[in-house]
């Protein structure tokens, strides 16, 4: 885990009030709704939540792979959401992504050596020795010998091997930020640890900043410096990993941790209602229809993401952290 103090650093990536909506025949899907957060150089931010929480959509919107409806994304001094197609294309070598489905993410007709070399041939300024040497070194870093695998095609590999090839391809360009969209969810448990170790080793060797999306709380805990919890397109809580797992502040975070396999946390009270549809999200706090702590205020007012002790932010009128409960309850009666 990265232990660098980021409190005084300017963020490498700043997201402000980002909105992603999809028009459909049934109505507008509110996929991401007013999300704001920073990512600092060298840290790994884990992003968790149930299916439909907006995790993957958020990641794709940051990279301009999915169009945004509102808000902004700033990388260094560049506002990505204002860029035209060509300036954005020139930035993409610095912003690489590992997709969720390792097999589908690789061109089945191309040889492995050509898949890994593709970015280097498009961007020759990223070549420091030779394309062939960098491809061989990249494959070696993920435990693959170019002499054995270089002339084979993705169809002859397992899912775990394809994900290692995808990692080698992403790292060949020596990116600044690595976006990981559920990179181990399609893999056997026996393969997951190796892939996670590869991402960790690459981060340490290249000084990468990593955004890591997953629904697996154990995986996120093992790789993250901070964790951001999402529900129905909004941030519930963001905090250092130790704070999140030892003392969750949001009722939804507590629910996720209590429901995780092998959890020793007491089970939360029974939830009420069904998971709302992103076509018609609840007013106010979107978790309120399932929250055992919900009150009238939760329906009338969307809770802002506010600071709490321990370097965390939480979007809840009645957070579980003791230091802030008295203030929150007093606000409910004012």
Q: Are strands 234-240 and 209-213 parallel, antiparallel or unpaired?
A: unpaired
Question: Which whole number is the average pLDDT over 281-305?
Answer: 94
Tell which wins on pLDDT, 37 or 2.
Answer: 37
pLDDT at residue 329 tops 60: no
Question: Which whole number is the average pLDDT over 23-51?
Answer: 96
Mean pLDDT for the chain overall:
89
Contacting residues for 238 by C-beta, under 8 A, at least 6 apart: 37, 226, 227, 228, 229, 305, 312, 313, 314
The residues facing 16 across adjacent strands are 72
User: What is the pLDDT at residue 8?
Assistant: 52
pLDDT at residue 319 tops 90: yes
User: What is the pLDDT at residue 38?
Assistant: 96
pLDDT tier for residue 268 given thresholds of 50, 70 and 90: low
Tell which wins on pLDDT, 141 or 44.
Answer: 44
| Extended strands (E) in 203-316 | 209-213, 226-231, 234-240, 306-308, 312-314
Task: For the chain, report the end-to-end CA distance as a whole number of angstroms.
Answer: 43
pTM: 0.90
Query: pLDDT tens digits for 47-86?
Result: 999 988 999 999 999 999 999 999 999 999 999 999 999 9
Q: Where are the domains of the chain?
A: 91-224
Question: Which whole number is the average pLDDT over 111-116?
Answer: 97
Closest to 12 in 3D by CA, of 257, 179, 221, 262: 179
pLDDT at residue 228 tops 50: yes
Question: Which whole number is the average pLDDT over 32-39?
Answer: 97
Question: Which whole number is the average pLDDT over 289-316?
Answer: 91
**DSSP readout, 293-306?**
T--HHHHHSPPP-E
Question: Which whole number is the average pLDDT over 206-212?
Answer: 94
User: What is the pLDDT at residue 267?
Assistant: 64
Tokens of 186: 């399609």
pLDDT at residue 265 tops 90: no
pLDDT tier for residue 36 given thresholds of 50, 70 and 90: very high
Strands in 209-213's sheet, in edge-to-edge order, are 95-98, 177-181, 209-213, 44-48, 226-231, 234-240, 312-314, 306-308
Q: Which CATH superfamily is domain 91-224 in?
A: P-loop containing nucleotide triphosphate hydrolases (3.40.50.300)
Tokens of 315: 């979007």
pLDDT tier for residue 270 given thresholds of 50, 70 and 90: low
| DSSP count for the chain of H helices, then E strands | 12, 12
User: What is the pLDDT at residue 272?
Assistant: 61
User: What is the pLDDT at residue 5?
Assistant: 42
Tell which wins on pLDDT, 292 or 45.
Answer: 45
> d(Cα 312, Cα 289) in Å, to the nearest integer?
24
Tally Cβ neighbours within 10 Å of residue 273. 10
Query: pLDDT tens digits for 124-166?
Result: 999 998 999 999 999 998 889 999 999 999 999 998 899 999 9
User: What is the pLDDT at residue 269?
Assistant: 59
Closest to 231 in 3D by CA, of 55, 53, 21, 59: 53
């Amino acid at each position: 885990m990265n232990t660098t103090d980021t409190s005084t650093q300017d963020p490498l990536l700043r997201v402000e009030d980002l909105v992603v909506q999809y028009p459909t025949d049934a109505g507008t899907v509110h996929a991401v709704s007013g999300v704001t957060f920073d990512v600092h150089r060298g840290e790994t931010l884990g992003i968790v939540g149930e299916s439909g929480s907006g995790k993957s959509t958020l990641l794709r919107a940051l990279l301009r792979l999915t169009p945004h409806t509102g808000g902004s994304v700033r990388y260094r001094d560049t506002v990505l959401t204002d860029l035209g197609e060509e300036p954005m294309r020139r930035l993409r070598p610095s912003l690489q992504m590992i997709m969720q489905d390792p097999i589908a993410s690789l061109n089945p007709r191309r040889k492995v050596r050509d898949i890994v070399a593709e970015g280097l041939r498009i961007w020759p300024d990223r070549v420091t020795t030779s394309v062939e040497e960098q491809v061989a070194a990249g494959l070696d870093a993920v435990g693959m010998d170019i002499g054995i695998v270089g002339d084979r095609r993705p169809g002859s590999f397992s899912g775990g091997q394809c994900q290692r090839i995808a990692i080698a391809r992403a790292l060949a360009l020596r990116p600044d930020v690595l976006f990981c969209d559920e990179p181990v969810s399609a893999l056997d448990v026996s393969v997951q640890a190796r892939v996670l170790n590869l991402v960790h080793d690459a981060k340490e060797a290249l000084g990468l900043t990593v955004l890591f999306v997953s629904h697996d709380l154990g995986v996120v805990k093992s790789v993250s410096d901070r964790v951001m919890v999402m529900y129905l397109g909004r941030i519930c809580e963001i905090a250092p990993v130790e704070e999140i797992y030892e003392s969750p502040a949001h009722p939804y975070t507590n629910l996720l941790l209590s429901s995780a396999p092998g959890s020793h946390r007491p089970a939360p009270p029974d939830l009420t209602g069904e998971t709302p549809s992103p076509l018609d999200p609840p007013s106010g706090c979107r978790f309120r229809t399932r929250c055992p702590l919900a009150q009238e205020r939760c329906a009338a007012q969307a809770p802002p993401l506010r600071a709490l002790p321990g370097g965390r932010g939480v979007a809840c009128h009645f957070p579980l952290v003791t230091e802030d409960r008295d203030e929150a309850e007093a606000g409910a009666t004012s």
